[in-house]
Amino acid sequence: MKNKELGMRELKIALEQIESRKRIKSKVPSWYENFDLILPNSKYLEQSSSEKTANFKSQIYQYSSSIDCTGGTGIDSAAIARNSENHLIIENNVDLAELLKQNFSVLNLENVEIVATDCIDYLSKTNKIFDFAYVDPSRRQAGKRVIKLNDMTPDLSTLLPILSTKASKIMVKLSPLFDIDEILRYFKKIDYIHVVSVNNECKEILVSLNSIATKEPQIVAVELGDSKNFVISGTLNKAPSYYEMPKKYIYETNVALVKLGKYFDYQTHFGINEIGVNTNLFTSDFFVENFAGEIYKLIAITKPNVKELQKVLGEKPHAMLKVRNFPIKTDDLRKKLNLLEGDENKIYAVTLFDGSKKFLICKKISVD
């Protein structure tokens, strides 16, 4: 019986490792390839950073001593530790803390100390001072996703006042679901707000706090893609909105810039204007090679009906389809048009700034 129970336990562990390894294959490739690492349960990996985002955040500041108040899977801490002389990890889950100790030994990160305790309790008692502190608060309570800054764990309203006496620079990782305006209202002494996307998928918002910050916060859009990378600063002042009718080129913005919203001035940065309210589509007669997003050549503008579409694309049109500030959902419109999937053409169903509803038929331009 004991051997059977042991066998079942080992099978369960093996299956958990297989599931966790699948989850990190593209997220943390160096860990995926290292079979000496024992991976945490896949539920802990859901909120964890990717290798790309971990490396990026670890290089925003320079520091010789650092603390991660919410160790978790250790992906972020591993990156931070490589840029620090002395790194401390606080993790209140005893099992995760033990796993971190094993894995950081495998990773040869000998400058790391791991303590299994509550971070607020630890910081309230310690005399240690750090150059840099990192916090990745849990965004789940009782299995439900949290959408309020005050509802996360650890409680930021309790943690940050204590932590600010222990570290001059603090970084808080947040879900991209949080609003920039809400972040600006909630946090004090903001140095940077980085909106980070990977392959045009918004992954996280990094709020960097600096106790000696004297300048206005810098709001930054970051893309860490396989084929495109950029770091573009926005402005704290609300950017004016400029609109014009579609011209030769159509520009679809990267999600990180979309998240910046009113804090990014497309006219100043790229010399382009939006074609309609809340479309996030921009236009120009000239080609903007360094645009942060996808670029299309406009082939035709039609009325939003099947007959007009068929005049341009034939009786059985094939195209990608997106709706922007348009009264019909994408799937419903595709069925109504009897539109087949295709990657040669792209149709934007939009409401232009003059209120007219149009189809923009475009071809993507590849920029090497």
Assign 143 a pLDDT band (cuts: 50, 70, 90): low
Distance of CA 42 to the CA centre of its chain: 19
129 and 228 in a single domain? The answer is yes
301 and 223 in a single domain? The answer is no
Given 175, 201, 233, the domain boundary residue is 233
Give a yes or no: residue 225 inside a domain: yes
Give a yes or no: residue 88 inside a domain: yes
Cβ pair 51, 30 in contact under 8 A: yes
| pLDDT at position 1 over 60 | no
The C-alpha atoms of residue 7 and residue 2 are separated, in whole angstroms, by 8
* Per-residue model confidence (pLDDT) at position 294: 94
Give a yes or no: residue 29 inside a domain: no
* Per-residue model confidence (pLDDT) at position 234: 86
158 and 298 in a single domain? The answer is no
* Per-residue model confidence (pLDDT) at position 172: 98
Residues 6 or more apart whose CB falls under 8 angstroms from that of 141 comprise 151, 153
* Per-residue model confidence (pLDDT) at position 140: 61
Average pLDDT, the chain: 91
224 and 259 in a single domain? The answer is no
- List the domain range (segments joined by +) for residue 200: 50-233
Give a yes or no: residue 222 inside a domain: yes
Assign 11 a pLDDT band (cuts: 50, 70, 90): low
* Per-residue model confidence (pLDDT) at position 211: 87
70 and 201 in a single domain? The answer is yes
Question: Among 10-14, 84-88, 290-294, which is the least confidently predicted range?
Answer: 10-14
69 and 93 in a single domain? The answer is yes
* Per-residue model confidence (pLDDT) at position 343: 87
204 and 305 in a single domain? The answer is no
119 and 208 in a single domain? The answer is yes
Mind listing the pLDDT tens digit for each residue in 153-164?
A: 999 999 999 999
* Per-residue model confidence (pLDDT) at position 9: 60
Give a yes or no: residue 24 inside a domain: no
Mind listing the pLDDT tens digit for each residue in 197-249?
A: 999 999 999 999 998 877 889 999 999 988 889 999 987 878 888 999 999 99
192 and 285 in a single domain? The answer is no
How many structural domains compose the chain?
Answer: 2
* Per-residue model confidence (pLDDT) at position 227: 82
DSSP class of 342: -
Give a yes or no: residue 159 inside a domain: yes
What is the residue-wise DSSP string for 110-147?
TTEEEE-S-HHHHHHH----EEEEEE--B-EETTEE--
Q: What is the CATH number of the domain that holds 72?
A: 3.40.50.150
DSSP class of 243: B
Q: Measured between alpha carbons, how far is residue 39 from residues 14, 25, 297 in Å? A: 11, 12, 46
* Per-residue model confidence (pLDDT) at position 10: 60
Given 182, 204, 233, the domain boundary residue is 233
Give a yes or no: residue 109 inside a domain: yes
pTM as predicted: 0.91
116 and 227 in a single domain? The answer is yes
Give a yes or no: residue 25 inside a domain: no
One-letter amino acid identity for 182?
A: E
The C-alpha atoms of residue 31 and residue 26 are separated, in whole angstroms, by 10
Mean predicted confidence (pLDDT) in 94-116? 96
Given 181, 199, 233, the domain boundary residue is 233
Mean predicted confidence (pLDDT) in 129-135? 98
255 and 308 in a single domain? The answer is yes
138 and 272 in a single domain? The answer is no
* Per-residue model confidence (pLDDT) at position 250: 98
